[in-house]
Amino acid sequence: MAEQRDGMITVRSDLHDYMEQIDQYTAQLPLTIREQMRQALYREYDGDYAGQEKLCREMLEVLPDSADVLSMLGRCLMSQGRYDEAREYLEKAMEADPEDQNTIISLGQACHAQKDYKKAAELLGGIFPPKDYHPFYYTVYAESLESLGQREKARDIYRKEISIWEESRIVRSVEILDGCFVRTLYLDAILGAMELTVDMGVYKRFLATVTMDAAMQRRLAQNISYLSTALTVRTFRIPFRSLVREIEEQGYLLDSEHYPIIENAYRSVESYEYHEDNAVSAMMESFLSAESRAPMAGDKDADNNDRLTVLSYEWYMTRYIENHGEELLYVSEKYPHTYIRAVTFLDQLQTLGAEGMRNAILDKLETFDEIKVPREALEAGMEEAYQKALKRKKEPVYLTEGNVTYKRSGKKILPNDPCPCGSGKKYKKCHGRK
């Protein structure tokens, strides 16, 4: 039967079939532990790991070197997050039976959980491909390889989990499979893999087959945000935009609290494009960037530095737009998702006029505790800062990610810069936390 918990679908036997499997397995065990092993397996099936652990320890008193019991106790401790203890028992189980692949996979998981990626990769790579499907094998192996810097090999392993789904169309775990898709697409992008378009198409088919419940919607929004960090690779932007458009058109996030991520994603693509657009000046670029992370009205948690940055560039824009109206029109046509964030400001500017808008901004600036100068000095300081900002030019920066070298106009992303994913947060508080 199919069981669904928090959006995660697993395929498992119904109780009757599971009981038959237990009977077949325990029939091979010594009589002294047969009944306890049967009960322990029932506990594992029900998620009663405390009860399972108690039975395992009782069995070890009778057969302290039993590979079956040691392995089961290791799995039980893993399920409780007790990785150090789990590894100890799993290593003993492997000593007793070095050929048991389930024990090897569980030990690999324990090593991965302890961040011992080298050992995890060594264990799991030693049995590739496993003779039987195991839901955690490919993801843990791939993550371990990726953590060791072996990105191309990791991508192939993630892709193997996807190919198993393509062949069987059985979704053993939405969460695991979805994670493999996202990591594959990300690595496709930064490695410049030719399979990117194909993999993106398979992911779209996957999204069409799963139940888009609240948990899946949350994961999908996180995926969009995560994949947007690969937009530094120019060739990834068209496939990424295509994915976002598909999600929008299919209504996967409709009526969801995560729906704004779609607009953020479009703006994120545009931000990289206007960084590289010679028709967009450094002044306009900085203004658009500031407006994109402008705090929402009533947002009490917004950073004062962000508020000051937005107000400063709005003041500059009241001066700049007087002689650069055509550039603003160009932006409105080529970068509509970014432009829309500045519409409120531009409407106010049209209503109040340039001088009236500057005075209104100065009124707001004077309310900040950081501003401790007279009005005349504040206005003079803003004019001086504007003249400096007006002279600044965008400088090309060469960056390398994986196998792809690309050229991007604009400065390196610093901790206090807006995160390129379009979340509105600072980079250090979003994707820069790693």
Give CA–CA dist 169/188, Å, rounded: 23
Does residue 424 carry a pLDDT above 60? no
Give CA–CA dist 281/379, Å, rounded: 24
Give CA–CA dist 418/427, Å, rounded: 5
Nearest to 386 by CA among 358, 417, 363: 358
Predicted local confidence at residue 234, as pLDDT? 93
Predicted local confidence at residue 85, as pLDDT? 97
DSSP single-letter state for residue 431: G
Predicted local confidence at residue 15, as pLDDT? 59
Mean pLDDT, the chain, rounded, equals 87
Coil, strand, or helix at residue 165? helix
Predicted local confidence at residue 78, as pLDDT? 95
Q: How confident is the model at residue 415 (pLDDT cuts 50, 70, 90)?
A: low
Cis peptide before 415 (omega within 30 of 0): no
- Phi-psi group of 7: left, alpha or beta (phi > 0 → left; psi -120 to 50 → alpha; rest → beta): left
Give CA–CA dist 66/157, Å, rounded: 32
Predicted local confidence at residue 305, as pLDDT? 82
Q: What is the pLDDT of residues 288-341, one digit of tens each?
A: 988 887 765 445 555 778 888 899 999 999 999 999 999 999 999 999 999 999
State both tokens at 81: 């997050």
Residue 10's φ and ψ, nearest 5 degrees, are: -125, 150
Please state the pTM of the whole predicted model: 0.81
Q: What is the pLDDT of residues 85-140, one digit of tens each?
A: 999 999 999 999 999 999 999 999 999 999 999 999 999 999 999 998 998 999 99
In the chain, the domains with their CATH numbers are 1-98 (1.25.40.10), 282-393 (no CATH)
H helix or E strand, kind and range, residue 246: helix 237-250
Does residue 411 carry a pLDDT above 50? no
Predicted local confidence at residue 428, as pLDDT? 60
> Are 419 and 426 contacting, i.e. CB atoms less than 8 angstroms apart?
yes
Give CA–CA dist 21/15, Å, rounded: 10
Predicted local confidence at residue 108, as pLDDT? 98
Coil, strand, or helix at residue 395? coil
Predicted local confidence at residue 402, as pLDDT? 46
